[in-house]
Amino acid sequence: MKTAEQAGQVNGYDGCKRIKGRKRFILVDTLGLLISVIFTEANFR
């Protein structure tokens, strides 16, 4: 997922899962309503 302002600024590589770029963490409730979205670098641990 790219955004216009930060498309090339935050990059990382998670060698274990072979993910390049960003990871998305999405939290929803039991009805599927969005509670929180967090974007981190792929190499964030």
Q: Are 19 and 43 in contact (CB under 8 A)?
A: no
Number of domains observed in the structure of the chain? 1
- Residues 1-16: pLDDT tens digits? 555 555 555 555 556 6
**Would 39 be classed as within a structural domain?**
yes
Residues 6+ apart with CB under 8 A from 28: 34, 35
**Would 2 be classed as within a structural domain?**
no
Domain hosting 17: range is: 7-45
**Would 27 be classed as within a structural domain?**
yes
**Would 31 be classed as within a structural domain?**
yes
pTM of the model: 0.45
pLDDT: which is higher, 6 or 40: 40
Write a three-state SS string for the chain: CCCCCCCCCCCCEECCCCEECEEEEEEECCCCCEEEEEEEECCCC
Name the phi and psi angles at 20, rounded to 5: -115, 135
